[in-house]
Amino acid sequence: MIIAIDGPAGSGKSTIAREVAKRLGLRYLDTGAMYRTVTLLAMEQGLVPDRISEAGALAARTEFRFVERPDDLTRVFVGEREVTDEIRGRAVSQNVSAVSADPGVRMVLTDKQREQVAMGNLVLEGRDMGTVVAPQADAKVFLTAGVEERARRRQLQLEAQGAPQPFDQLVADIMARDEYDCGRQLAPLRRADDAVEIDTTNMTIDEVVDAVGALAESKRARKWSLSRMVRSPLDTWLYRVAYTIIPPFCRLFFRMRVTGVENFPLCGPVLVACNHRSNLDPFFLGSATPRMIHFMAKSELWRFRPLAWVLGKMSAFPVRRGQVDRQAVKQAFAYLEAGAVVGLFPEGRRQRDLPLGEIRPGVSLFSLREGVITVPALIRGTDRIIRNHILFLPRVHVIFGPPLEIPLDDKPRSERAAVTTQRLVDALLELLAAHPEA
């Protein structure tokens, strides 16, 4: 999934792109920071204003490193040197338009940005994302806002950084930059024909994030139809083979439906917590999920040698039920740490009579790990497949709910764990109520 966000200076691109990336579990790239960094280095090397044509070679030699911060501008490094604050200063802002209009600089940075696009799962923001860098993006957004509103936002930002500037000066700077960015010959700031334009002048950040998030989710729901697997280096060959065979089988014989797949992050660590009605649940849950799941499964299954081999090759891992199994916990953490998906059935065992069994509090152990997104999932229909040793073909429905909101870490851990477990219970009950048995 690639989301391209363009717009003029101060239209809110960075904040919106970062929030949307966080919400959808995508990576985030601030391409303006790349142009700013090259500008800073070019100024230091005396290339501005007369030798800008040499800045392309400088850009090619520059090794950018970005460190994302959840609630602030990305930290930018050139090798070991941090330039995060310097590149936002007035001197750089005044020269960046001229440097970014240079064809050599644009060619080099466009290539570097396309390398990131090729890796997938990215929100990228700048001036020419939807038109030049990623014209194939799944969702394109063009953000605008009145000049005065943009100057006001910039003023607040600079004040927060302890470097206030007069309002009139900011208005003049922004107007000059608009003129330059829109008027240049190469990759001028322009709305792509298929971009959705959002005027953010009178909108709050949350409202804009909601609008962009909804657009992206609708595109993603259309794009990730059943049985398209997003690959990762941790996938095993047997899982990939199974993924080409089992989902079509589930669709054909059990008319399997999947709802809410857009709630599933396409990268980063995810915990899927699903209700449990049948031993067949992992097949359906695995078939409905766009990424490989590393299942935590009861250790009894490993007693039967051939099954143990298959489970190992599918990179499932055993858990001893009814006790604290440190090895299983360690394994689950290792997968999450590596950015993979871990699947578990937090009721501990299959439920026959209750709509939802008691949720084990241990599940919060994983949900509270930083960066882990917990997705509640509900399976309907699998308990009716085998009854009295006879095979039936009922309809199966898998539903993914929105990721759980995890309490902030300013509260004691035990309290956060209890709240998280309760939120999972509430989420599963809500899914049960919203999707009654067919």
Q: Which residues bind ligand DC (CB under 6 A)?
A: 9, 31-32, 35-36, 96-97, 100, 126-128, 177, 181
Number of Cβ within 10 Å of residue 74's Cβ equals: 16
Number of Cβ within 10 Å of residue 108's Cβ equals: 21
Number of Cβ within 10 Å of residue 140's Cβ equals: 25
Q: In the bound complex, what is the minimum distance in angstroms from residue 110's beta carbon to ligand DC?
A: 8
Which is closer to ligand DC, CB of 198 or CB of 319? 198
Q: In the bound complex, what is the minimum distance in angstroms from residue 124's beta carbon to ligand DC?
A: 8
Task: Show Cβ contacts of residue 356 under 8 Å, excluding neighbours closer than 6 positions.
Answer: 275, 347, 425, 428, 429, 432
Q: In the bound complex, what is the minimum distance in angstroms from residue 102's beta carbon to ligand DC?
A: 10
Look-up of token digits 């006001």:
152
Which is closer to ligand DC, CB of 54 or CB of 178? 178
**Which letter does DSSP use for residue 17 in this model?**
H
Q: In the bound complex, what is the minimum distance in angstroms from residue 146's beta carbon to ligand DC?
A: 17
Q: In the bound complex, what is the minimum distance in angstroms from residue 37's beta carbon to ligand DC?
A: 10
Which is closer to ligand DC, CB of 119 or CB of 252? 119
What gap in Å lies between CA 272 and CA 363, rounded to an integer? 10
**Which letter does DSSP use for residue 87 in this model?**
G
Which is closer to ligand DC, CB of 18 or CB of 416? 18
Look-up of token digits 């280096």:
233
Q: Tell how strand 139-144 and strand 2-6 pair up.
A: parallel
What gap in Å lies between CA 306 and CA 323, rounded to an integer? 26
What gap in Å lies between CA 5 and CA 212, rounded to an integer? 9
Which is closer to ligand DC, CB of 158 or CB of 246? 158
Which is closer to ligand DC, CB of 23 or CB of 36? 36
Q: What is the three-class DSSP state of 401?
A: coil
Which is closer to ligand DC, CB of 9 or CB of 258? 9
Q: In the bound complex, what is the minimum distance in angstroms from residue 367's beta carbon to ligand DC?
A: 35
Which is closer to ligand DC, CB of 126 or CB of 376? 126
Q: In the bound complex, what is the minimum distance in angstroms from residue 145's beta carbon to ligand DC?
A: 13
Which is closer to ligand DC, CB of 4 or CB of 230? 4
Q: In the bound complex, what is the minimum distance in angstroms from residue 141's beta carbon to ligand DC?
A: 14
Contact 137, 129 (CB under 8 A): yes
What gap in Å lies between CA 202 and CA 208, rounded to an integer? 10
- Residue 189, token pair as written in the block: 């700031």
Which is closer to ligand DC, CB of 52 or CB of 96? 96
Q: In the bound complex, what is the minimum distance in angstroms from residue 1's beta carbon to ligand DC?
A: 20
Contact 35, 109 (CB under 8 A): yes
Q: In the bound complex, what is the minimum distance in angstroms from residue 30's beta carbon to ligand DC?
A: 7
What gap in Å lies between CA 265 and CA 254, rounded to an integer? 26
- Cα-Cα-Cα-Cα dihedral sign, residues 351, 355, 359, 363: positive
Contact 12, 142 (CB under 8 A): no
Residue type for position 425: V
What gap in Å lies between CA 134 and CA 139, rounded to an integer? 10
Which is closer to ligand DC, CB of 142 or CB of 295? 142
Task: Show Cβ contacts of residue 335 under 8 Å, excluding neighbours closer than 6 positions.
Answer: 234, 269, 294, 341, 342
What gap in Å lies between CA 155 and CA 159, rounded to an integer? 6
Q: In the bound complex, what is the minimum distance in angstroms from residue 408's beta carbon to ligand DC?
A: 29
- Residue 70, token pair as written in the block: 């959840």
